[in-house]
Structure 1
Amino acid sequence: MKKLFLLIFLTISSIGYTQNDYLLGESYYREGEYEKAAQVFKKLYASSPFNTSYLSRLISCYQETGQFLDVETLLKDKLKKHAEQGFLYVYLGYNYERQQLKEQAQDNYNLALKTIDKNPSFAGIIGRIFKDYNLLDNAILAYEKAMTKNENANYSFQIAQIYGEKGDYKKMFEAYMNLVDKDDQYFSLVQRYTSKYITDDSENEANIVFRKTLLKKSASNPKNVWNVLLSWLFTQQKQYNKALIQEKALYQRNPDDLTAIFRLGKIAFENTSYKDAKACFDFVTEKSTFNEEKIAASLYLAKIAVATKNPDTEKLFAALFNEFGKNTATIKLQVAYADFLTFQKNKPNKAKEVLEAAINFSSSKFDKARIKLKLGDILVFTGNYNKALIYFSQIQTQLKNHELAQQARFKVAQTSYFKGDFTWAKAQLKVLKSSTTQMIANDALELFLKITDNEPVDSIPSGLKQLAKAELLSYQNKNEEALAELQSLFTPKNVFANGLTLGDVIYDDVLFFKAKLLIKQKKYEEAIISFTKIITADNQGIYADDVYYEIAQLYNNQLNNPEKASEYYQKIIFDYSSSIYLVDARNKYRKLRGDKLL
């Protein structure tokens, strides 16, 4: 037994020393100390003569120090003992290539490829070494030769990756599609790797080639997987109507599953493509035989009606409650109704009645949290901030780390901001910046930056309190009062000794928010004036691309001035290439110009 323990100890120790030596050699190599690295890898290779990682590094060290003859001698000696190891010819060929001996290099590459005829199992390592040396055409030849010799061999994935490196999208996507064609299990892997090339721009070269490849495959060999990939592509391009066509085709073949169409509707809704989202949820409510699924889709239809200010929204809610009732199954629908009553109809007391009734028959702690979250919103709306904070804090305590708890924490921060308690607001927002929910994390970061960029220093006012109050007034649908609060920042009583006003200190944020308020009041020309003042002051500020996009949208959608809209879309295209609005601006500019969008 003692001998066994000793043997295990020595083996583990040996592995540890080898690992340490390898790391030491790698460290020398990365630092360009090739002679020291060569000594380490020579020792490692001597102890493990079949380890190609050690061999490759040793060869590279010799080549970096001009010891090409040593490499040649090493490899030829190795080939004499192991002629079957054809991958050694690739190393030898590249050693000649480093010396500009092209003909000898090619002769050895050919010898490496020929060995695949006798032993196709070496194709994997031969192809990999060719790829490592950026000899991409030879790598493809090696993989293709292996698949010709052995019908069970499948190197389509490696071939596709190489075509991607070469920028040959057509052959890359064909290789990926062949992989999926052979085995549907590769679908997720192929989707992940093709997503590196696909963008949200339908006129991106890779997008066009991918779509054509899929359509060709679909025509020659119809399969569900091609429709799934086409739907995915159209979704990436935000062409949700086209994605829905693919999903409907899939549904016809499997009329028991509406999950994909529901998911597509959610994505379209989150991207404010309400018309396409409605088409998805209408289809679900029409085809579904499950009450739970119908209620979930109806909830989104109600949210779409609210977002699009449909005049029949209240009737829609009434019809839904008449159909499904007010019970535990419709809690989310009741919460949405309360939100509508408060923020759209200005009926907070009626909304509270709806929620107080709902909380009595809610059986889940999560449903109770949703109701309390909305009750907190209503309390902020009516100016009862302390009670609202109690509700939000209860949710944080009861549902730690849950998304609802994170929403509640953000509500605490937002309410504290409205009240002018910037220190406590920042403390909450710091935690939320790393939220697992991206939307909450983004909102938290945005508010955190607004506070840190503009908060008062050494008791000197900065205008942030007035801006926060204006935002609170807007939250309470008191838009005229909010505008008056913003305007007060520029009055004589708020002038500093240097002539600047509080409004000048927080200029961008104030003018941007003022413009958004004016848009809510449908005062579009005045909103454009407010936006333009931001650009006049600083056309490279943080709001610059937002401003140009907002102005373009106003001219395009509200003022029916396509010429001016095109002018502002162009500003984003040519001057703000990293803007998040770039693709949308480009597509809308092309549409206004009359281009046919794919």
Structure 2
Amino acid sequence: MRLLLFCLLFSNFAFSQNSNQQLAYQYYVNGEFEKAISLYEELLNSNFSVAYYAPYYTSLIKLENYRKAELLAKKLVRKYPKELQYQLGVIIAQQKMGKTKKADVLYKRLINSFDGGRSQTIKLANTFNRHELYNQALELYLLSEKINPKNNFGMQKAQLYAKTEEVELMLKEYLNEMDRNPLQKQMVTSKIQKFLDNDGIKSDKNYNLVKKLLLQKVRGEKDRIDFSEMLIWLFMQNHQFNLALIQAKALDKRTNSNAKRVYDLAEIFLDKEYFLLAEDAYDYVISKGRKNPFFIDANINKIYALTKNISSKSYDIRILDDIYKKTIADLGINKNTVILLSNYAHFKAFYLHDLVSADSLLQKAMLIPSINNFDLAECKMEYADVLLLQGLIWESMLYYSQVEKDFKEHPIGHEAKLRIAKIAYYQGDFSWAQAQLGVLKASTSKLIANNAMQLSLLITDNFNLDTTETSMRIFANADLLNYQQKYDQALQKYDSVLTMFRGHSLSDEIYMRKAAIYMNKQQIEYALINYEKIAKDWSYDILADDALYKRAKIYDNILKNYDLAMQLYEQILLEHNSSIYAAEARRRYRDLRGDNLKD
């Protein structure tokens, strides 16, 4: 019975000790040093443990109780004379009290006892680090590496250089660590990314520093490619896509590989609408020959890039039509070229307005033997688009619905659902459209979720503002006419809203759509007038940066008025620095200013 009682009492005591230890440490972590000291002193009086030392000692130093910290460290030196961290505790306390001569003597004695062992080095350096004595920690790491060349504290030194703001030394340590251990590439990339992201206004200087150090590493590469790949990544981060492509081509030639890196960059350029760069990259892949695994896809995507980048001049369109015909004849009609046929059908319908040929191409594509289910869904989506272009709304809905049903959890199914919601919107069934859009806001595809959110907000902000809902219905019908490329009719509808409902919240949306129509009609002057209207009357609104950026691109790419383009890019940076266009505006502003020529 007595034994049982003793066991219970001991168990309760141990639980209480453990609980107090956790609480004391939590106080220490939270910076509540007085509470931490109080609990640690209770613990030390009842049951001493070296685990209490570091947080208890540090708490004493933080509250400038240097004498008690010194006595604590001396007590442990007597008990554990070979543990140098306690000797260092005495030294730090004496330094804090101004006993520099005594501290210096003890430190020299400590260094003489220091054997450079890894475990010992880390303990001592961590002690320096806790007390923000970063230079001393660095000296210790360097001494350890000198005593024992097998030791490597590159990551620890890099972190300390970051704290002392010696950024070049920090970066060198990170890159040297990757040089020693290629498996650290992802972690080093993450550290450099964080460094570039966090320094705001200093980012130009820091970017150039990273580039300089990386180029030094690239020049020294022989059998490895880690630093070349990181340099491509750096160029992409800084939106210097042309330099990234040049480097990727050089790396591909050096390694005699299958151009996968170049193909991957081409896909990114296409997604970001850098069509000329995408074409250049695809051409490089195509030059590798028919046996290259990306040959067919590169051909298909190159023509897609050409289509997206084409002007509406009939001469360009005829040339592209011939390119489509030649490529189809060259690659053949088979399960590998289904998307090529689908893209050609889109070109026929939306650029040449040849709906009969578009219909025929899609019917042929959907009947190809062994067609992939996803490719079939893509064809059905395109066919539905063409049907909607013709005004065959219910037939269009049927094909969208088939894709939605077959791919419920896939982005293409979500896209089909979004287009169904758009049809409901075009027809003025705003409540039903909102119900579908509400589901799509949670789509795994960021693009689809954003598009759903934009249409939902458009309806929410403008639906039911006038008692008859007339303005929104006219606007939605104009959007359908716009999609069907009945531009003159769409313009009349948009203008009727502006006339009938002066000052309506849809006004800025209308001017934005009118500008886009005039761009499609190659009436650049009218497009600029509408974009400028938004900048003048809605400079505070959500479309202001969009309008500014589109004006800048017109002056930059079409009118070649680079001075005015620079002014507009700068305006985006000054007035809309959180805009999605800010990064690209900054890159192009620097290009026009000549910064990249100075690099």
1:541 aligns with: 541
- The amino acid of 1:430's aligned partner reads G
Whether 2:273 is the aligned partner of 1:272: answer: yes
Residue aligning to 2:327: 320
Q: Residues 78 and 262 (structure 1 numbering): CA distance in 2 closer, same or farther, change over 3 Å?
A: same
| Residue number among 390, 394, 401 corresponding to 2:398 in the alignment | 390
Aligned to 1:284: 285
* Preserved contact between residue 421 and residue 434 of structure 2 (Cα < 8 Å): yes
**Match of 2:194, SS?**
coil
Q: How does 1:112-123 map to 2 (within 5 A)?
A: 116-123=114-121
State the Cα distance separating 1:510 from its structure 2 match. 1.7
Letter in 1 for 2:517: L
Which residue of structure 1 lines up, in the alignment, with residue 366 of structure 2? 359
Alignment identity in percent?
A: 27
The one-letter code of the counterpart of 1:388 is S
Matched, 1:75 2:73: yes
1:515/1:527 contact within 8 Å kept:
yes
The residue aligned with 2:4 is none
- For the residue of structure 1 that corresponds to 2:84, the secondary structure is coil
Letter of the structure 2 residue corresponding to residue 151 of structure 1? P
Cα distance in 2 for partners of 1:540, 1:317 equals 45
Query: C-alpha offsets along residues 89-146 of structure 1, whole Å, 9 cap, x if unaligned?
Result: 5555555566677777777777766654353322223333433433332232232222
Equivalent residues, number: 581
Name structure 1 gaps, 5 residues minimum. Answer: 1-6, 496-500
Deviation track 1:302-350 (CA, whole Å, cap 9, x = no partner) reads 1111011143222122122111211111122222222222222223342
Matches within 5 A, 1:343-382: 343-360=350-367, 361-382=369-390
Counterpart residue number, 1:341: 348
Residue of structure 2 aligned with 1:133, choices 128, 131, 134:
131
* CA shift in 2, pair 1:531/1:136, >3 Å: same
Which stretch shifts more, 514-523 or 42-51? 42-51
Closer/same/farther in 2, CA of residues 110 and 189 from structure 1, 3 Å limit: farther
Provide the C-alpha distance between the structure 1 equivalents of 2:276 and 2:520, rounded to a whole number of angstroms.
Answer: 21
- 1:411 matched to which residue of 2? 419
Conservation of the 8 A alpha-carbon contact between 1:462 and 1:505: no
Aligned pair in 2 of structure 1 residues 389, 211: CA closer, same or farther (>3 Å)? same
* Residue matched to 1:184: 182
Report the secondary structure of 1:508's partner residue.
helix
Which residue in 2 is equivalent to 1:429?
437
The letter for the 2-side match of 1:415 is I
Tell me the CA shift for residue 581 of structure 1.
2.9
* TM-score, normalised via structure 1 length: 0.86
The match for 1:155 is: 153
Residues 575/363 of structure 1: CA separation in 2 closer, same or farther (3 Å cut): closer
Counterpart for residue 509 of structure 2? 509
Match of 1:242 in 2: 243
Name the residue aligned to 2:170.
172
- 1:10-66 per-position Cα deviation (integer Å, ceiling 9, x unaligned): 999999988865664465557665444444455677778343xx5443334445555
C-alpha distance in structure 1 between counterparts of 2:127 and 2:470, whole Å: 63
Q: Which position in structure 2 is the counterpart of 1:142? A: 140
- Offset at residue 486 of structure 1 (A): 0.8
SS of residue in 2 equivalent to 1:529: helix
Given that 2:116 and 2:144 are in contact with CA atoms closer than 8 Å, whether structure 1 keeps it comes out as no
Deviation at 1:260, TM superposition (A): 0.9
Q: CA deviation at 1:433?
A: 2.9
Structure 1: which amino acid aligns with 2:67? L
Point out the more displaced range, 255-264 or 544-553: 544-553
1:116/1:145 contact within 8 Å kept: no
Alignment of structure 1 residues 161-240 onto 2, 5 Å: 161-198=159-196, 204-222=204-222, 223-240=224-241
Counterpart position of 1:59? 57
How far has the Cα of 1:550 moved from its partner? 2.0
The 3 A distance-change label for structure 1 pair 292 and 218 is closer
In structure 2, C-alpha distance between the alignment counterparts of 1:34 and 1:224, rounded to whole Å? 50
TM superposition shift of 1:206: 1.6
| Matches of 1:19 and 1:429, distance apart in 2 | 53
Quick one: structure 1 residues 529 and 141, their matched pair in 2 at CA, closer, same or farther if it must change by over 3 Å? same
Deviations 1:394-419 (A, max 9, x none): 32332232222222232233333333
Q: Per the alignment, do residues 413 and 147 of structure 1 end up closer, same or farther by CA in structure 2, a change over 3 Å counting?
A: farther
Mapped to 1, the partners of 2:64 and 2:399 lie a distance apart of 74
| Matched residue, 1:257 | 258
- Equivalences for 1:18-29 in 2 at 5 Å? 24-25=23-24, 28=27
| 3-state secondary structure, aligned to 2:283 | helix
Aligned to 1:498: none
Q: Which amino acid aligns with 2:493?
A: E
Judged with a 3 Å threshold, the aligned counterparts in structure 2 of structure 1 residues 171 and 393 are, in CA distance, closer, same or farther, namely same
Contact 2:239 2:584 in 1 (8 A): no
Task: Provide the C-alpha distance between the structure 2 equivalents of 1:20 and 1:348, rounded to a whole number of angstroms.
Answer: 77
Change (3 A) 1:449 1:44: farther
The aligned counterpart of 1:585 is 585
Distance 1:580 1:16 in 2: 55
- Which residue pairs with 2:560 in the alignment? 560
Tell me the alpha carbon deviations over residues 436-480 of structure 1, each in whole angstroms, 9 at most, x when there is no partner. Answer: 333223323333332333232584538333333222222111222
Separation in 2, partners of 1:303, 1:315: 14
Supply the distance in 1 between the matched residues of 2:30 and 2:120 (Cα, whole angstroms).
33
Question: Which of 490, 495, 499 pairs up with 1:487?
Answer: 495
CA distance in 1, matches of 2:545, 2:259: 39
Query: What SS does the aligned partner of 2:525 have?
Result: helix
| CA offset digits 1:279-322 (Å, max 9, x no partner) | 11111111144365211111111111101114322212212211
CA shift for structure 1 position 266 = 0.9
**Which letter does structure 2 place at the counterpart of 1:331?**
V
Q: Please state whether the residue corresponding to 1:505 is helix, strand or coil.
A: coil
Q: 2: distance between equivalents of 1:406 and 1:103?
A: 74
* CA–CA distance in structure 2, aligned partners of residues 187 and 237 of structure 1: 19
Higher mean alpha-carbon deviation, 514-523 vs 105-114, is at 105-114
Change (3 A) 1:164 1:559: same
When residues 48 and 366 of structure 1 are mapped into structure 2, their CA distance, relative to the original with a 3 A threshold, is farther
Inter-CA distance 524–119: structure 2 relative to 1 (3 Å threshold) = same
Measured in 2, the distance between the counterparts of 1:265 and 1:518 equals 30
Q: Is contact 1:362-1:368 (8 Å) kept? A: no
Task: Could you tell me which runs of 5 or more consecutive residues in structure 2 were left unpaired when the two chains were aligned.
Answer: 1-6, 311-315
Tell me the amino acid that sits aligned with residue 149 of structure 2: E
Q: Are residues 394 and 202 of structure 1, via their aligned partners in 2, closer, same or farther at CA, if it must alter by over 3 Å?
A: farther
- After superposition, the Cα gap between the structure-2 partners of 1:597 and 1:198, relative to the gap in structure 1 and judged at 3 Å, is farther
Give the secondary-structure state (helix, strand or coil) at the position aligned to 1:257.
Answer: coil
Name whichever of 349-358 and 576-585 sits farther off. 576-585
Displacement of 1:484: 1.2
Distance of aligned partners of 1:473 and 1:66 in 2 relative to their CA distance in 1, 3 Å threshold:
same
Query: What's 1:4 paired with?
Result: none
| Pair 532,188 (structure 1): closer, same or farther in 2 beyond 3 Å | same
